[in-house]
């Protein structure tokens, strides 16, 4: 990403020939390269740090000895997972000190293709934020999913050359890459000198070598300490993920404690609005890292400088003269809650609150709406298999705090089988295609849940109790989502208990973060209280049930998929 | 610089499905990110490291516990200063472990403009070497010099967009940049997201801030420890220079010892062939750094990984899978002399010697020849001022091991004045323009020296003794250079004592490094023995006499220049 053109006025301010717009005086400025805190002032002009030390200024803010750091950068995330439209996302994370993200818009890409990504990038451009967009490389994620669009190597190149994409986004089809699939290699090669983000859960040894030899440069799917170390040893960037569901920081961070901060950065990947509001964003990662023994200065490198470096955000990650004035002011760095946030020299947040008017509204592109196309919603009998008790079936096993599903085999009706009906209804082209199977681990005892957020093809996924009325509630839930244009819903006895409308691509809300978070909380509570669900974050678990590129067993609109075998498998054992 | 496209065969070798071209077995591999030595083998295929660990291979080299490191990268240099044509330069530095340089071809640019740079880049492309070319940004270096070509912002953009330049080369007109000169800012902005190399000797405080605010990202002209620290504190890259004349390593390296290796790399800037053959190249910098207290692993980062990172040589700086197999094997790392060098997986040097046939001949572009155009060479009376003894004059003061000249005032004829005639003859366009003045510090007692290497405009610079016959010997020297098509020469009593023919742009030889080094040695010896010269490397000193962008006083074809004032000054005080 190009630095902003040098401003002659900022240069004059640096020289001392003109007054600065703002002097942030009396702080201790973090110097990433020397790992020092330098007592100096920051003179800001035209959005950049023009100079260090005293200058005349139109406005002076004395921060009284506070720590000043470069703002935080999320090394890998999906806007769509926050369920927020871009302006509301920015309003939510700026108070936590994040002013830049590298985003893979591949949920939107799965629904709307290149025009969806282009519309998102365009909508983000006027915001006070560095929204780096990568070119989604695996749409659809696998041949087992029917997405709303598909992107080939030409589309990837188009996104990079015409729509400003920073590189190739997470190459999830790692089996294809490792196997030397020409189309996957062509998509990687579209990156040219730009970055190629990887996605290689559990990949190690020779397979990892093959993935690296193919050009992947980073991984955010690492879950084991030894894998983390192998990645950095072999020159691969380690993006330590702390999402709402996948929380890998505590497992991986000992490698940073022992071997230092090189080639490491934080990412959130998929964070729900409630997590953002309650725990924060990249600052939450830094807090946890320090709690686990990482020195504060190293945590700052992971949270800002390193991520900026990887993504070529040359204007960020440092408060040296010439860098954009994305400045965090901490009364106590140990709190990891910035007292003030400036973005490009403008104050945008204070004491955890966005400043009024700091973030303009980003108009919602019309193509984002009306994307749930089911025709006549399917009746109950098309949403459930009718195996009797005693049948031995494969079931997609879900677990709290993990996106990895288990390949379970259960006997229907046995105590502890916990089997629920599961269905994935194609929703982009009214094909009527439905994949059927079973899920286990939800604890669902009655009613149904459904979601149009269903990684990565974002068809309509639903689970329903094997008890009487379960399939009927699944049908009501799916019909309700068609009505809303997308969302998530819990249904019991034919009645909607709670719902999260997500009318933008069936993925995102057009409401404020707090409202969306409340809707999600209420929906999860309804699932637990009224439907008996026991797994944590059941709607997020539901939304990953169909993701056919992460082990072990998944259900798509095409049927049950064994991810390890990369093949369909029958429901019956 | 783009990574090479991933080779399906390398991926297959990584998987273990096909034999490697080469297995470098039994080594300890340096891991830059974790700062470890990993006992493993390197499987090489199609020029890249395909994998770590055992693989079948067509050829296995057991290195018996040797240290294996990524090859070295010179962060900033001028090919022309080596006086060698590109193929011979590559033959000279590969045995020292350098496989990549970032080159500013601004000497050639001063003589031949964009076509000269394009011809150089084209000639370098087939060689087993990463020859990164930057777009010279200050041609001519100042308005005080008459170069053979001038490059504006459009030319800089052209070099980047059409000729593969990596960024904007050292922006030497730092007063212009700091002053906000629009043309200089336009040249910087031509870089886009690419690098902008700086050149800011002695610049500190507000002036440094202004230079950084304008977009400069590195400096290789730092000579003081406190300046080195300020640069890294403020996020500027520090290229620690150890050239033939300017040797800054020992002064600056304590900052690396104290504050670590971030934003630091080695560069040679201007190294003579004799220095290359005798002391080495980047390996010499690493050796000195370790001797000064830098840990070996940090020295490796400065010598390889950091420089590769800065310049976007994504394929270099690491031996992780997917990186180009530019591998150094050291029996003893402490020697900093690689026992073997592989470039892109091919052996190119062993035990300090280039392997026969490793480097093909690079044809010399015809435009490089015949560039010294004087018309009728000037007679003696046009080359010397005729001030009598007792006159008080300004003189350009030279000192051993420094490129900074002194603004001296001497009384002609006084003991210790050591004044010599100095003249700079325009040689690109037969204008007949000659700048006249005095130099002091050479110790020249009789005869004359001349050089068409005369930074940066590369006019014909000559100094002659104030003794009888001095001006006449200057005329003979200049005429001889016209005859040779460029070079350096020493003359006494009308006779050429020794000479270094440099027929390529008047800057480079077409002979082997050892021969050129011997010619230079003999020329310097003749200057010392026959002419009485006392300064070290007198011909290199002569070649910097005209450089009007480094303090303090310089002589160009336009006259005497006070660099601090950035203005012509009279010879007489």
SS3 sequence, B441-490?
Answer: CCCCCCCEEEECCCCCCCCEEEEEECCCCHHHHHHHHHHHHHHHCCEEEE
* pLDDT of B306 over the 70 cut: yes
Q: Provide the sign of the torsion angle of the four alpha carbons B257, B263, B269, B275, taken in this order.
A: positive
Helix (H) or strand (E) segment spanning residue A449:
strand A448-451
Q: Specify the pLDDT at position B134.
A: 97
The three-point CA angle B485-B491-B497 to 5° equals 90
Residues 174-193 (A) with a CB less than 8 A from some CB of B: 177-178, 180, 182, 185, 188-189, 192-193
Identify the DSSP state of A94. Answer: G
> Rounded mean pLDDT of A428-436?
96
Cβ atoms of B493 and B487 closer than 8 Å = no
Residues 6+ apart with CB under 8 A from A351: A339, A340
**3-class DSSP state for residue A116?**
helix
Burial of A347 (0-12, 13-18, 19+ CB in 10 A): middle
- CA nearest neighbour of B85 among B278, B364, B282, B271: B364
């050239």: which residue's tokens? B243
Which of A212, A312, A321 lies nearest to residue B321, judging by beta carbons?
Answer: A212
Task: Count CB neighbours of B366 within 10 A.
Answer: 8
Residues forming a β-bridge with B501: B487
* pLDDT of B554 over the 80 cut: yes
The dihedral formed by the CA atoms of A172, A173, A178 and A181, expressed in degrees to the nearest 10: -140
Residues 6+ apart with CB under 8 A from B98: B71, B72, B73, B74, B281, B282, B283
Tell how far CA A339 is from the center of its chain. 25
Q: Specify the pLDDT at position B5.
A: 76
pTM of the model: 0.93
pLDDT tens digits for range A488-520 = 999 999 999 999 999 999 999 999 999 999 999
pLDDT tens digits for range B366-375 = 999 999 999 9
Q: What number is the ipTM of this complex?
A: 0.92
Q: How far apart are CA B465 and CA B469, in angstroms?
A: 8
Going by pLDDT thresholds of 50, 70 and 90, the confidence category of residue B42 is: very high
Chain A residues lying within 8 Å of B321, measured CB to CB: 208-210, 212-213, 234-235
pLDDT tens digits for range B512-546 = 999 999 999 999 999 999 999 999 989 989 999 99
The answer to whether the Cβ–Cβ distance between A33 and B263 falls below 8 Å is: yes
* pLDDT of B383 over the 90 cut: yes
The answer to whether the Cβ–Cβ distance between A322 and B216 falls below 8 Å is: yes
Q: How far apart are CA B345 and CA B334, in angstroms?
A: 24
Which of B15, B31, B217 lies nearest to residue A207, judging by beta carbons?
Answer: B15
* pLDDT of A216 over the 80 cut: yes
Tell how far CA A410 is from the center of its chain. 32
Chain B residues lying within 8 Å of A5, measured CB to CB: 185, 189
List C-alpha distances in Å: B3 to A189, A245, A474, B31, B473: 9, 35, 50, 19, 54
From first CA to last CA, the distance across chain B in angstroms is 52
What is the C-alpha radius of gyration for chain A, rounded to an integer number of angstroms? Answer: 24
Burial of A494 (0-12, 13-18, 19+ CB in 10 A): exposed
Mean pLDDT of all residues belonging to chain B: 96
Q: Is any Cβ of chain A less than 8 angstroms from the Cβ of B67? A: no
Whether the link from the prior residue into B323 is cis, omega within 30° of 0, is: no
Provide φ and ψ at A448, rounded to 5°: -155, 160
List C-alpha distances in Å: A48 to A412, B319, B398, B507: 64, 37, 41, 42
pLDDT tens digits for range B127-150 = 999 999 999 999 998 889 899 999
* pLDDT of B307 over the 80 cut: yes
Going by pLDDT thresholds of 50, 70 and 90, the confidence category of residue A471 is: very high
pLDDT tens digits for range A390-416 = 999 999 999 998 888 999 999 999 989
Going by pLDDT thresholds of 50, 70 and 90, the confidence category of residue A4 is: low
Q: Which has more pLDDT, A540 or B363?
A: B363
Nearest CA in chain A to B185: A6
Q: How far apart are CA A549 and CA A555, in angstroms?
A: 11
Give the gap in angstroms from C-alpha B568 to the nearest C-alpha of chain A.
25
Going by pLDDT thresholds of 50, 70 and 90, the confidence category of residue A141 is: confident
The three-point CA angle B102-B106-B109 to 5° equals 130
> Rounded mean pLDDT of B230-245?
96
**3-class DSSP state for residue A349?**
strand
Residues forming a β-bridge with A333: none
Which of B8, B35, B213 lies nearest to residue A180, judging by beta carbons?
Answer: B8
The answer to whether the Cβ–Cβ distance between B322 and A216 falls below 8 Å is: yes
Chain B residues lying within 8 Å of A215, measured CB to CB: 3, 6, 322
The three-point CA angle A130-A218-A79 to 5° equals 40
> Rounded mean pLDDT of A446-472?
96
Nearest CA in chain A to B46: A213
> Rounded mean pLDDT of B58-87?
97
pLDDT tens digits for range B145-201 = 899 999 999 999 999 999 999 999 999 989 999 999 999 999 999 998 899 999 999
- CA nearest neighbour of B191 among B202, B177, B179, B203: B177
The three-point CA angle A265-A269-A275 to 5° equals 105
Cβ atoms of B372 and B427 closer than 8 Å = yes
The answer to whether the Cβ–Cβ distance between B320 and A234 falls below 8 Å is: yes
Q: How long is chain B?
A: 573
Q: How far apart are CA A462 and CA A297, in angstroms?
A: 46
Cβ atoms of A216 and A200 closer than 8 Å = yes
Cβ atoms of A114 and A528 closer than 8 Å = no
* pLDDT of A105 over the 80 cut: yes
Task: Count CB neighbours of A58 within 10 A.
Answer: 10
Mean pLDDT of all residues belonging to chain A: 96
Residues forming a β-bridge with B448: B464, B491
């Amino acid at each position: 990403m190009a630095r902003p053109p040098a401003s002659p006025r900022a240069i004059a301010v640096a020289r001392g020939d003109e007054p600065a717009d703002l002097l942030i005086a009396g702080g201790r400025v973090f110097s990433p390269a020397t790992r020092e805190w330098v007592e100096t002032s920051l003179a800001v002009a035209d959005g950049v740090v023009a100079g260090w030390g005293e200058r005349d200024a139109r406005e002076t803010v004395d921060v009284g000895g506070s720590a000043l750091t470069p703002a935080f950068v999320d090394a890998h995330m999906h806007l769509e997972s926050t369920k927020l439209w871009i302006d509301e996302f920015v309003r939510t994370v700026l108070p936590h000190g994040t002013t830049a993200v590298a985003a893979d818009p591949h949920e939107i890409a799965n629904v709307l293709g290149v025009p969806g990504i282009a519309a998102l990038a365009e909508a983000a451009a006027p915001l006070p934020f560095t929204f780096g967009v990568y070119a989604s490389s695996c749409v659809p994620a696998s041949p087992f999913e029917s997405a709303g669009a598909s992107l080939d190597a030409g589309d990837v190149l188009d996104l990079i050359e015409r729509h400003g994409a920073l590189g190739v986004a997470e190459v999830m089809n790692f089996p294809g890459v490792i196997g030397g699939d020409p189309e996957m290699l062509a998509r990687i090669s579209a990156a040219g000198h730009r970055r190629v983000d990887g996605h290689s859960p559990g990949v190690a040894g020779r397979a990892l070598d093959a993935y690296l030899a193919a050009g992947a440069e980073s991984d955010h799917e690492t879950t084991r300490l030894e894998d983390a170390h192998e990645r950095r040893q072999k020159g691969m960037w380690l993006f330590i993920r702390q999402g709402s569901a996948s929380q890998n920081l505590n497992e991986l961070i000992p490698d940073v404690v022992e071997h230092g901060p090189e080639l490491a950065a934080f990412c959130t990947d998929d964070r729900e609005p409630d997590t953002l509001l309650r725990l924060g964003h990249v600052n939450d990662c830094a807090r946890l890292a320090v709690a686990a023994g990482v020195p504060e200065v190293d945590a700052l490198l992971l949270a800002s400088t390193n991520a900026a470096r990887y993504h070529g955000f040359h204007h960020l990650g440092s408060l040296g003269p010439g860098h954009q004035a994305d400045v965090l002011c901490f009364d106590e760095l140990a709190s990891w809650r910035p007292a003030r946030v400036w973005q490009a020299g403008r104050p945008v947040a204070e004491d955890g609150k966005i400043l009024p008017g700091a973030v303009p509204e980003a108009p919602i592109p019309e193509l984002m709406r009306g994307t749930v196309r089911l025709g006549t919603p399917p009746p109950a009998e098309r949403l459930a298999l009718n195996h009797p008790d005693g049948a031995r079936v494969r079931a997609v096993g879900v677990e709290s705090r993990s996106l990895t599903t288990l390949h379970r085999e259960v006997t229907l009706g046995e105590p502890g089988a916990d089997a629920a009906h599961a269905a994935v209804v194609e929703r982009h082209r009214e094909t009527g295609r439905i994949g059927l199977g079973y899920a286990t681990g939800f604890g669902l005892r009655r009613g149904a849940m459904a979601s149009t957020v269903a990684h990565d093809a974002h068809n309509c996924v639903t689970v329903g109790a094997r008890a009487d009325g379960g399939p009927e509630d699944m049908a009501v839930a799916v019909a309700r989502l068609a009505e809303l244009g997308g969302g998530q819903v819990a249904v019991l006895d034919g009645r909607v208990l709670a719902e999260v409308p997500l009318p933008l691509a069936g993925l995102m809300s057009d409401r404020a973060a707090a409202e969306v978070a409340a809707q999600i909380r209420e929906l999860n509570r309804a699932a637990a209280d009224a439907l008996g669900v026991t797994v944590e974050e059941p709607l997020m678990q539901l939304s990953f049930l169909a993701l056919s590129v992460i082990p072990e067993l998944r259900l798509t609109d095409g049927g049950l998929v064994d991810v390890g075998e990369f093949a369909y498998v029958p429901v019956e054992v």
